[in-house]
């Protein structure tokens, strides 16, 4: 999946569950680890978990890979690593 497609897919998935303050940061010149960082906020632990799950579900449906996901147990801050894109969802 191309970077632009993955970025749009992530933003759309966050907007579907009413994620707030969605920011996409181009990190390609800062680190070789990933090209984009997407940051979004949720209003509760439940919404943060739902946002992260929706991102993972949409990426899987599109044939993408989820490398890892951390923080789902508590739900205050969830990190979803998609390789070229890292998603931070927090309260």
Residue 1 pLDDT: 81
Q: End-to-end CA distance of the chain, in Å?
A: 29
Record the pTM. Answer: 0.92
Q: What is the pLDDT of residue 62?
A: 95
What is the structure's pLDDT at 71? 94
What strand order describes the sheet that includes 68-70? 20-26, 36-41, 85-90, 77-81, 68-70
- At residue 60, the pLDDT reads 96
Q: pLDDT tens string for the chain (91 positions)?
A: 899 999 999 999 999 999 999 999 999 899 888 999 999 999 999 999 999 999 999 999 999 999 999 998 988 999 999 999 999 999 9
Backbone angles phi, psi at 8, to 5 degrees: -65, -40
């Amino acid at each position: 999946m191309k970077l632009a497609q993955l970025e749009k897919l992530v933003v759309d998935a966050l907007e579907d569950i009413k994620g707030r303050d969605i920011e996409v940061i181009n990190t390609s010149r800062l680190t070789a680890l990933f090209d984009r960082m997407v940051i979004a906020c949720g209003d509760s632990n439940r919404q943060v978990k739902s946002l992260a799950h929706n991102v993972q579900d949409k990426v899987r449906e599109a044939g993408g890979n989820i490398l890892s996901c951390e923080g789902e147990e508590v739900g205050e801050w969830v990190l979803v690593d998609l390789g070229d894109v890292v998603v931070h969802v927090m309260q």
